[in-house]
């Protein structure tokens, strides 16, 4: 296999050609601004926007199209939600609950608000990356305004018990429950009218849609809560996000979601099978290899490993045929160990030896087997340079 094989679908996915085709007319022939209400070009764009909103709402089980607010992606949506709630609080105490392994855009937004006076509780996770539901229950206070827990972890793949978490939040507080579902949308069953979620954010480029577009779902409970928009201007997106809406992008996202639903069951089953095959081979054939995250309650396309006595950066360099990562794409190029790996109990050395595979539509069993052989060869090569590994082998002999 001469060309690199793409195993980084947690970071991003290629745009489906059918998605591209659905977007093309809105770059040229139907180029109007949806906010231009005085002529046919604007009316056409507005109709396309309304149609995309209805389609996205239908795919996710939202009760009303107006509950879908288009953004540039989940990072913007998460910032808008968290900071918008805080900035609308007046002089009231404001308490936020999140978890150690949350995405950096949530963690950094909350840290920013902590500097402005917000009270913050960061829940620890266990060795598989799960929060303790009793810890969550105990953390809730009369002035808790928001609980933010991601559905599927972008680094280690762990799927949190979202139904149970949402029930606890609603039964024991007046707080809103926010869920970053970037990795979960198109990979787990989502029916928002039957889930105790008040705010859900996602990005199109994670499920074969275009980059630079995403959305947040907002429940009826959210619309009864005071909230301050971060962007002020023309009042687009029902006054919640002022800027010219990316019509080609939202059309592409709607199409990508519909395509994901068409073969959802079979593709999730196929990816789960490939993931399990990859996990089994790595754990059985690479001595001392460890799986990061839950074995069973994990994203269908994610496999994250700690390979002790190596460094992930060197492993990746030793496998130019394989395009995978050392963890979150948002932390790519950083030398410090992954805070997610540290949170689940990995040592700094083990955290630096973490490698992540993100499976996708194009991946086959043949490619997975080839990747495992490449990884085995890279591990042997790098471990020959490890004094600690040499000492371990001497002890065994």
For the annotated catalytic residues, the residue numbers are: 330
Q: Is 290 exposed, middle or buried (0-12, 13-18, 19+ CB in 10 A)?
A: middle
232: burial class by Cβ within 10 Å (0-12, 13-18, 19+)? exposed
Residue 263 backbone dihedrals phi, psi, to 5 degrees: -125, 35
In which residue are the tokens 């910032």 written? 79
Overall size of the chain counted in residues: 397
Q: Which of 350, 318, 286, 271 is nearest to 13 (CA)?
A: 271
- For residue 276, the Cα-to-chain-centroid distance in whole angstroms is 21
Residue 127 is classified by DSSP as T
| CB contact set of 210 (below 8 Å; sequence gap of 6+) | 15, 19, 23, 204, 248, 249, 252, 253, 256
Question: What tokens does 166 get?
Answer: 């949402």
Rounded distance, CA 153 to CA 166, Å? 17
Closest by Cα among 160, 152, 89 to 118: 89
Q: What values do phi and psi take at 284, rounded to 5?
A: -85, -25
Question: Within its chain, how far is the Cα of 293 from the centroid?
Answer: 15
Rounded CA-CA distance 394/178 in Å is 51
List, in order, residues 6 or more apart from 39 with CB less than 8 Å away: 32
Q: What are phi and psi of 124, to 5 degrees?
A: -75, 165
Q: Positive or negative, the Cα torsion across 376, 378, 380, 383? A: negative
Closest CA to 292 of 308, 273, 313, 268: 308
Q: What does the alpha-carbon distance between residue 261 and residue 245 come to, in Å, rounded to a whole number?
A: 25
Do residues 75 and 105 lie in contact, with contact meaning Cβ atoms separated by under 8 Å? yes
Query: Which pairs from 164-167 meet CB under 8 Å and 24+ separation?
Result: 164/133, 165/131, 165/133, 165/136, 166/195, 166/196, 166/197, 167/196
């Amino acid at each position: 296999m001469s060309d690199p094989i793409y195993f980084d679908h947690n970071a991003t996915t290629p745009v489906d050609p059918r998605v591209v085709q659905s977007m093309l007319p809105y770059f040229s022939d139907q180029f109007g601004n949806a906010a231009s209400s005085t002529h046919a070009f604007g009316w056409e764009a507005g109709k396309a926007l309304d149609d995309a909103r209805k389609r996205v709402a239908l795919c996710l089980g939202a009760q009303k199209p107006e509950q879908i607010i288009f953004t540039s992606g989940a990072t913007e949506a998460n910032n808008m939600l968290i900071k918008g709630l805080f900035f609308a609080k007046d002089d009231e105490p404001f308490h936020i609950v999140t978890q150690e392994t949350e995405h950096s855009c949530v963690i950094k937004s909350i840290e920013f608000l902590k500097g402005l006076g917000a009270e913050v509780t960061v829940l620890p996770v266990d060795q598989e990356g799960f929060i303790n539901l009793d810890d969550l229950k105990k953390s809730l206070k009369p002035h808790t305004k928001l609980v933010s827990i991601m559905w599927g972890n972008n680094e280690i793949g762990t799927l949190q018990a979202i139904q149970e978490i949402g029930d606890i939040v609603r039964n024991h507080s007046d707080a809103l429950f926010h869920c970053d579902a970037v990795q979960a949308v198109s990979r787990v069953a989502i029916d928002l009218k039957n889930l105790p979620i008040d705010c859900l954010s996602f990005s199109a480029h994670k499920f074969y849609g275009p980059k630079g577009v995403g959305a947040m779902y907002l429940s009826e409970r959210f619309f009864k809560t005071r909230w301050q928009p971060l962007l002020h201007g023309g009042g687009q997106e029902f006054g919640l996000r002022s800027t010219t809406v990316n019509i080609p992008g939202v059309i592409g996202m709607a199409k990508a979601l519909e395509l994901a639903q068409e073969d959802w069951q079979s593709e999730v089953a196929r990816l789960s099978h490939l993931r399990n095959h990859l996990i089994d081979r790595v754990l059985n054939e690479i001595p001392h290899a460890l799986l990061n995250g839950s074995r069973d309650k994990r994203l269908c396309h994610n496999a994250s490993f700690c390979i002790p006595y190596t460094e992930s950066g060197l492993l990746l360099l030793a496998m130019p045929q394989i395009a995978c990562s050392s963890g979150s794409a948002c932390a790519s190029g950083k030398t410090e160990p992954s805070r997610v790996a540290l949170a689940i109990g990995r040592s700094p050395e083990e955290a630096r030896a973490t490698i992540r595979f993100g499976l996708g539509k194009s991946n086959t069993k043949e490619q997975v087997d080839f990747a495992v052989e490449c990884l085995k060869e890279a591990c042997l090569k790098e471990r020959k340079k490890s004094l600690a590994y040499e000492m371990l082998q001497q002890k065994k002999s």
